[in-house]
Structure 1
Amino acid sequence: MVDQARMTDRRTKFLSISILMVAEIAAMSLWFMSAAILPEMLQEAVISPARQAALSSAVQAGFVAGALLSAVFGLPDRLDPRLLFAGSAAIAAAANASLLVATPGGDLSIVARFVTGAMLAGVYPVGLKITVGWGRDDRGFLVGMLVGALTFGSAAPHLLALAGGADWQISVAIASLLAAAGGFLCLFARLGPFHARAGQFDIRTVTEAWTNRKVRLAYAGYLGHMWELYAMWAWIGVALTASFAVYLQEGAAVMLARIGAFGAIAAGGVACIAGGAFADRIGKENIAILAMAISGGAAITMAFVFGGPVWLVLLVALVWGAAILPDSAQFSALVADHAPPEKAGSLMTFQTALGFSLTFFTVQATPLAVEAIGWPGVFALMAAGPALGGLAMWRLKRMTSA
């Protein structure tokens, strides 16, 4: 009877995590939609470089605002996270669909992207809250799986842009339907045995990020990681197009860059799951240090090979994309490990709020920096983040070992 009960629990855990991963992929397909369809939008309307950047950075700004409110009020820890996930995904889908009637690059479209980001703050961090409730000894692997799903969802717009072809409205409509369906699907997930719920609102919850040194170091590592991650994700397609255009015609360069961008981002999802499988055995800090060392090195390498042979640039982009993500899951898992269980959801949400505050600057500043110092210089600057993040993880490792 005991063995049968354990098998039932494992099946429930596997089914719930699988449902959550599919829901995450579907909902997060909204994130880079404007960047993926930008070439087609530019054929219909004149959009200034500042507004092009705003379409992407508005998502980050919205996410930060939503995550801060969610963390301060403790929503992931006080509410049923499945309902919060579903409602947020539905509103995000509606906001994304409004791009179909808004002027490309206009004020309404930028506001719609802001609302989309704010609602996705009720998707990704809330998914983390549900996930950490399903395990302790295998938490690194479980969070790695969810962040891998997030990555596949973030890469999806590049494929949806290919599916829509010249008609970007088709891509937007498909992404909105997927996000709404993902929110509905999350309602069928179960909460795990380690799920902890906060009893009441406590404004002091987020102060744990400063008073708990281990949590503080996990935050520091995450900020170094985020300095690099979303600037790379948001603009790698544009950068690859510029590099490939040295050897290829414009149309071929754009198509190959989209495939390369999807491959680079998706490679991170695969590596994130693989890294999670080893994190619980060799240490979450070690996985984070290794990933940041490789991703920082790949960023420097990309600075040297940019504009070179297409196959070489594509290869470096894929390696960079694979290495840039496995540490992300471990930062969240480390916060959950070192925080009180009833505060973990809010602290992970606050962690993402700080990280995406940083990405608002990096995503917005990237095209301006490219004009000033070119893509090679920008890639070199991106490497500073993982260098500092790796140092924070080394300090956390020493503290944990002691």
Structure 2
Amino acid sequence: MKNGKWWALFLIAVAELFALSLWFSASVIVQELRDLWALTPATEAWVTASVPIGFVIGALFSSYLGIADRFNTRKVFAVSALAGALLNLLLIFSQSAWIGIALRILTGVTLAGVYPTAVKLLSQWFPKKRGVAIGILIAALTLGSSLPHFIVIFFLAVNWQMVIVTSSILALTAAFIVYFLLKDAPGSPGKTPFSFKLIRKVVKNKPVMLANYGYFGHMWELYAMWTWLPVFLTASFTAQTTEVSTWFIALASFISIGIAGGVGCVVGGLVADKIGRAYLTIISMGVSGVCAILIGFTFGQSIWLTFALAVIWGIFVISDSAQFSAAVSEFADVEYVGTALTFQMCIGFLITIFSINLIPLLQGTVGWQWVFSLLSIGPVLGIISMVKFKSYEISDSAQKASNKAT
């Protein structure tokens, strides 16, 4: 069983890494799409926001119908990854901005069947001490989301379509892994009958909702940072020197978001299992909020100073992400844990749409020096919620210790 669950973790993490390469597959080639689709500033913003919009639609639909709890979780993941790969591939045939944006929205819908279901799969394989396991999963998500920046280094000079094709092949591989190589967890529950009461149960669960509020503050910062940090690095590096190369900026973005974030997730999971989820999230949001304020002051300064702070921000902005999902999976009853996770992510990604689009609107007014300070609001509100959540976590730990003693 021990070997089985760690093998399952490996398969789920690899599949998540490959499937999430769909998220930013179009964003990293937006300059090429700008010419092909005759993008205006407004439609270009829609290209960036379309995937989270689709994710919210898909997550809302899934949580409302309880799809993650009514159907086999592994098959939901595989079908969603397959559909996402095919929709993403259709981008290379699109000659219209609005058709392309529609395809990106639909791709986001399919990813709502990938991310939350992967977390539920892990909760089935790791009923206890799942902080490290979910940390590894979110590390895979982080690397997968930043993978297009890495793909660009090799393929963009050849053909922008290769970036799209590569991410689609990776998503198809993810579907194959989960459907054919991954087995259902021993003792995993079967289908849960559909009930509109599932959402009501989620909302009435106070520790679950406190963890959700913490997650919402975290998400206000996370995807806006992931979306606009590469743009900020480009502007900052070129303001310091005109000799910086495109591949270096892409590599710096991949390291800051993907590598640093992946390390942060794994270390965060290890630390959370020792000091508790609440403490870990409070520390992470505190450091990331400070980084959001400070990084603007490095604009146009030393490239290595900006890069170093971006890496630190990349570590702490995501190091707590897994713990909100883990908290929900531990405090939600098994009958609605899939719906609870999907609901959490639905609202969280809805929030990202606003913060992602606020950054370019305010950047023209306050400049790169101050615009990221807006993102620090999320961590502040998230910390307040997780301080309240801490009492439930302490009580739950004491209860488990008492049960173990008896």
- What TM-score, normalized to structure 2? 0.93
Aligned counterparts of 2:144 and 2:280: Cα–Cα separation in 1:
23
Deviations 1:194-231 (A, max 9, x none): 63345300111112332111011000000000000000
The one-letter amino acid paired with 2:90 is: S
Contact in 2 for aligned 1:238/1:257 (Cα 8 Å): no
Specify the alignment match of 1:172 in structure 2: 164
Question: In 2, distance between residues paired with 1:44 and 1:73?
Answer: 38
Cα distance in structure 1, aligned partners of 2:16 and 2:192: 27
In the TM superposition, 1:247-286 aligns within 5 A as: 247-249=240-242, 252-266=244-258, 267-286=260-279
Q: 2:6 aligns with which of 14, 24, 40?
A: 14
2:227 partner letter? A
Paired residues of 1:137 and 1:280 also in contact (CA < 8 A): no
Does the 8 Å contact 1:63/1:114 carry over to 2?
yes
Tell me the equivalent position of 1:326.
319
Counterpart amino acid of residue 100 in structure 1: I
Q: Distance in 2 between matches of 1:239 and 1:332?
A: 29
* Contact 1:273–1:326 (Cα < 8 Å) also in 2: yes
Query: How does 1:2-401 map onto structure 2 within 5 Å?
Result: 9-44=1-36, 46-103=38-95, 106-166=97-157, 167-187=159-179, 188-193=181-186, 195-249=188-242, 252-266=244-258, 267-401=260-394
Distance in structure 1 (CA, Å) of the matches to 2:276 and 2:8: 25
Flag structure 1 segments of 5+ consecutive residues without an equivalent.
Answer: 1-8
Q: CA RMSD in A?
A: 1.5
2:388 partner letter: R
Give the partner amino acid of 2:273: D
Deviations 1:27-79 (A, max 9, x none): 10010112211233335453212211111211001000001111111111111
For residues 201 and 371 of structure 2, what CA distance do their matches in structure 1 show? 34
Distance 1:67 1:394, change over 3 A: same
Give the structure-1-normalised TM-score.
0.94
* Aligned residue pairs, count: 392
More moved, 46-55 vs 387-396: 46-55
Q: List gaps (5 residues or longer) in structure 2.
A: 396-406
Q: Separation in 2 of the partners of 1:400 and 1:15? A: 29
Residue 249 (structure 1) shift: 2.1
Q: Distance in 1 between matches of 2:189 and 2:214?
A: 25
> Following the alignment from structure 1 to structure 2, what is the Cα–Cα distance between the partners of residues 257 and 289?
31
